[in-house]
Amino acid sequence: MTTKKPVAVVDYSVDGLSGGLISSWLKVPSIAVRVVEGERFPSISPDDFSAVIHSGSSHSIVEDASFMEGAIIFVQRSVEAGVPQMGICYGHQLLARAALGLDAVAKCSNIEVGWLEVDFLPQWPIDGLSGRKAVWQSHYDCVIKLPEGSVITATNSHTKIQAFMNRNMKLFGTQFHPEFDRKKGNECFAKDVELFEKNNIDLETVLASGPGFPTGEVVFDHFLMTFR
């Protein structure tokens, strides 16, 4: 894939910090595009970008935010234009919803939060990442259906579709958040003590853990390499 055009990092996070955090891992030019609840999806065209990364968010994918219709149209137009797209958590779920509708996503029976293990399968598109490794998780929603031609590339007992790839549609999704290293990931967890107390999860145990590999460096590189 060409890198003459920048990668668009579409930031759905409520605090607007995900775009910069994701961009910091990319070794190619990128532009962060902020998406804000109460406003329409930004007026951007897939033709202006070499690839698109859709961030996570505290919004729920099963609810209709003000920007949802525009986001779905943008995902669909990106597929039609052959522009590779990666989705993280909410963004991962958005890719599935844009392809198949609300039937593709659902609420989980319980939250998945912490540095939790995921099984990276042999179907992962780039060699060198396999086996069970801890990654940063925080989600209530999940993907339950994938478009035809998709392959599940990572899984665990909580969420079957932890990652997927669709070469024909140039889609690459991860339920987990590769943008967090141990320092930034634990800082984020430490800000939300109530979340852990409410779900009877020991925060100190979580903070003593960390990622099982350099997630940001590996996963974003693998996305760009898959569709180069």
pLDDT tens readout for residues 93-116: 999 999 999 999 999 999 999 999
Distance CA 100, CA 143 (A): 11
Residues belonging to the active site: 89, 177, 179
- State the pairing for strand pair 171-174/105-120: unpaired
Question: How do beta strands 30-34 and 7-11 pair?
Answer: parallel
Supply the pLDDT for residue 1: 47
The pairing of strands 51-54 and 7-11 is parallel
The domain 7-107+140-180+214-226 is placed in CATH, from the list 3.40.50.880, 3.40.50.1820, 3.40.630.30, 2.70.98.10, at 3.40.50.880
Please name the helix (run of DSSP H) or strand (run of DSSP E) that holds residue 189, with its range, or none.
helix 182-190
228 — pLDDT class (breaks 50, 70, 90): confident
Mean pLDDT of 32-52: 97
Q: What is the token pair recorded at 134?
A: 């801890």
Asked if pLDDT for residue 5 goes beyond 50, the answer is yes
Confidence band of 166 (pLDDT split at 50, 70, 90) = very high
Nearest to 86 by CA among 199, 178, 180: 178
Residue 2 pLDDT > 70, yes or no? no
Q: What is the pLDDT of residues 50-72, one digit of tens each?
A: 999 999 999 999 999 999 999 99
pLDDT, residue 4, reads 85
CA distances from 216 to 71, 174, 202 (A): 24, 12, 25
Residue 37 CA: distances (Å) to CA of 1, 67, 71, 90, 97: 32, 7, 12, 14, 18
